[in-house]
Amino acid sequence: MVEMDGMRMVQTRAILSYIAAKYNLYGKDLKERALIDMYVGGTDDLMGFILMFPFLSAEDKEKQRALIVEKATSRYFPVYEKVLKDHGQDFLVGNNFSWADVHLLEAILMVEEKKSDVLLGFPQLQAFKARISSIPTIKKFLEPGSQRKPVPDDKYVETVRRVLRMYYNIKAN
């Protein structure tokens, strides 16, 4: 839940769309917005495989790790690689920095935490990662001491389970 501009906003997608629109990271028109929504939908699906990861059993974690890497390298990364290759621009949509770029960088870094060399074979994404990481606000967020959170650990899992009384077993995809 995010308290902002007199609202108590819930629903992750609603909050993200509001922020993107408010801070001009949502393209210049309806069609660019649609493209951003499509790309963000993809990276959201990809990160969805990672979201439940800390809650899985050790055995399921290994299976899920393989699934994450497989989805990333066969379904998602090739799409963004091709988008960047085809238009040759620095950013995914409309030659301008947008929410889609931020979301893709986040997804890349999260998948790399599961397999560090996952970008081998994706030269456009490697260059994209370097480019977007060097944007001053992003660079700052990537530095120690920022509000970026680390890879979830057992303590995080315990906290979520305790607070939400969510003790059932999460099943892998």
Partner 1 sequence: MSAKPKLYYFDGRGKMESIRWLLAAAGVEFEEEFLETRDQYEKLLQGGSLLFQQVPMVEMDGMRMVQTRAILSYIAAKYNLYGKDLKERALIDMYVGGTDDLMGFILMFPFLSAEDKEKQRALIVEKATSRYFPVYEKVLKDHGQDFLIGNNFSWADVHLLEAILMVEEKKSDVLLGFPQLQAFKARISSIPTIKKFLEPGSQRKPVPDDKYVETVRRVLRMYYNIKAN
**Residues binding partner 1 (CB under 8 A):** 5, 7, 9-15, 17-18, 21-22, 30-31, 33-34, 37-38, 40-42, 45, 75-76, 79, 171
Task: State the nearest-atom distance from the C-beta of 100 to partner 1, in Å.
Answer: 11
Nearer to partner 1, 2 or 138 (CB): 2
Task: State the nearest-atom distance from the C-beta of 21 to partner 1, in Å.
Answer: 6
Task: State the nearest-atom distance from the C-beta of 84 to partner 1, in Å.
Answer: 14
Nearer to partner 1, 9 or 138 (CB): 9
Task: State the nearest-atom distance from the C-beta of 18 to partner 1, in Å.
Answer: 4
Task: State the nearest-atom distance from the C-beta of 161 to partner 1, in Å.
Answer: 17
8 Å CB contact between 167 and 58? no
Nearer to partner 1, 76 or 97 (CB): 76
- Write out the DSSP string of 42-78: HHHHHHHHHHTGGGS-HHHHHHHHHHHHHHIIIIIHH
Phi, psi of 26, deg, nearest 5:
-125, 25
Nearer to partner 1, 42 or 94 (CB): 42
Residue 98 region by backbone torsions, left for phi larger than 0, else alpha for psi between -120 and 50, else beta: beta
Report the alpha-carbon distance of residue 131 to residue 54 in Å, rounded: 30
Nearer to partner 1, 19 or 142 (CB): 19
